[in-house]
Amino acid sequence: MAKKVLLIEDDKDIRDTITYALKEHGYEVIASEDARILKDIAQINPNLILLDNWLTDWKSDANGQQLSKELKTNPATSHIPIIMVSAVSNIKEVTEAGLADGYLKKPFELADLFAIVHKFTD
């Protein structure tokens, strides 16, 4: 059974590239341009979340770091690994503050994407 990755990325080109690359490697990918999809997280039941830090969210001024922290402090979702994906210079600090499990700094090589996804889904 394919591992399921929930990708939340507002940049269409990056979202499409990650989706295509992961599907080619046998992953099931559910991709969204915004975090509204998180209302369905129980039904989606992902093995991993790739979360962009710079999102326009349905909540007031929420960003990926805040969303990650909410997910990680919720007993129903705290077990799901979250990888922050961002070009911010302080991505390590953003990841730690959001309680995420790891990060992927933009721009990234596909080999780095596969390495971190495999690390958290195998």
Residue 34, CB-side half-sphere exposure with 13 Å CA sphere: 8
pTM: 0.93
Residue 54, CB-side half-sphere exposure with 13 Å CA sphere: 10
pLDDT score for 35:
87
Per-residue pLDDT tens digits of the chain, which is 122 residues long: 789 999 999 889 999 999 999 999 999 999 999 888 999 999 999 999 999 998 755 555 568 899 999 999 999 999 999 999 999 899 999 999 999 999 999 999 999 999 999 999 98
pLDDT score for 56:
59
Does residue 10 contact residue 52 with C-beta atoms inside 8 Å? yes
Where along the chain do its domains lie? Answer: 4-121
Question: Which top CATH class is 4-121?
Answer: alpha beta
Report helix, strand or coil for 4: strand
Report helix, strand or coil for 114: helix
